[in-house]
Amino acid sequence: MTIQTTGMLWLLSGVFITLLIEGLLWLYWRFWGAGSIRDYISEYDEPEGDYRIVQRIKTPTQRVALVETEGKWLIYGNGYVMFSTTEDERMYAEALIHIPMAVAKKRQRILIIGGGGGITTREVLRYPETMEITTVDADAMMMDFGKNLQPLVKFNKGALHHPKVQTVIADGRSFVEHAEGKWDVIILDLPEPSRDYPELGRLFSVEFYRLFQERLEPGGAIGVACSVFSSSPEYVWSIQATLEAAGYHILPYHFDIIVEEEEDWGFCLATAAPVSPGDVHISVPTRHLSPARLQDMFHIPYGYSIYKRDAKIQTDHNRVLIEIEESD
């Protein structure tokens, strides 16, 4: 081997090592260091395949990331998808909205807390008898996306601009404490409390749920989104126990997309009087809530049910839901 060839090999080796080090430093910066995306996109909820982060914003309430992947848009809050323009988002909104809407005696005045994306509002607007929808979100950025981010506006059909809809930027707890009047249906679609945002626990507490006793019309219904049943059944049962402690009858249900997305979402239907699955009659067309699907939604698998005995009640002064989230 000539001296010239040896020198060339050393040069190429040096270039390779330099590029390798720079690559490793970039990966460290991006995923663990100061430039980490993990504060914005959790490893658990990271999109499969290629994606691009269009925008990262730190708001007073959360760290928000706007992500585009394969023509779909995902809006993250504190690392987890809050809403998106995907088909599973449509499934989720149908499951959350149409069950309480189906059992409520009236559907004229609706309150949605955590509805900045406008997707749940879109589903409520399918009911012609609904006259007034109040959509509340604590984060002005989320509401701005729901009103002005064109892919999302197209997906939610401009729901937040509809004349029946009033949008409010406010903490959900504060809004309810100072609100006047009553609602026929109340929807709670809120992010889980966490170590970084423990104050969110006040939106899942027995004290908060008791406020709705005076805000819910006779024959009204409350729908509560309860995280992922398949990975955190204790979380769902604790919300049920908390609602029961606040004086409601609870019908838990789930929406299984384990085959498609490896998830099974949990929900609680809360009413003043007992409700059975046979009372659920959806009066508007839906894409995903077929009779067979509805029958499955109210059958809680044994693997989830065994955790019910350990359910604890969330209050304004404890960390029950945070501890559950941290133990998963």
pLDDT value at residue 1: 56
Active site residue 189: yes
For residue 270, give the nearest of 232, 230, 213, 322 by alpha carbon.
Answer: 213
pLDDT digits (tens, 9 = 90+) for 246-279: 999 999 999 998 767 778 999 999 999 999 999 9
pLDDT digits (tens, 9 = 90+) for 176-210: 999 999 999 999 999 889 888 899 999 999 999 99
Instruction: Please tell me which residue, 79 or 171, carries the higher pLDDT value.
Output: 171
Which one from 189, 264, 279, 296 is the annotated catalytic residue? 189
Q: What percent of the chain has pLDDT over 70?
A: 88
Instruction: Please tell me which residue, 103 or 63, carries the higher pLDDT value.
Output: 103
Q: Which CATH class is domain 87-327?
A: alpha beta
Confidence class of residue 34 from pLDDT cuts 50, 70 and 90? very low
Upper half-sphere CA count for residue 320 (Cβ side, 13 Å) = 23
pLDDT value at residue 10: 56
pLDDT value at residue 52: 93
How is the chain split into domains, by residue range?
Answer: 28-84, 87-327
For residue 147, give the nearest of 174, 125, 126, 168 by alpha carbon.
Answer: 168
User: Which residues have CB under 8 Å from 36's CB, separation 6+?
Assistant: 29, 30
Confidence class of residue 71 from pLDDT cuts 50, 70 and 90? very high
Q: What is the pTM of this model?
A: 0.88
For residue 204, give the nearest of 75, 64, 325, 43 by alpha carbon.
Answer: 325
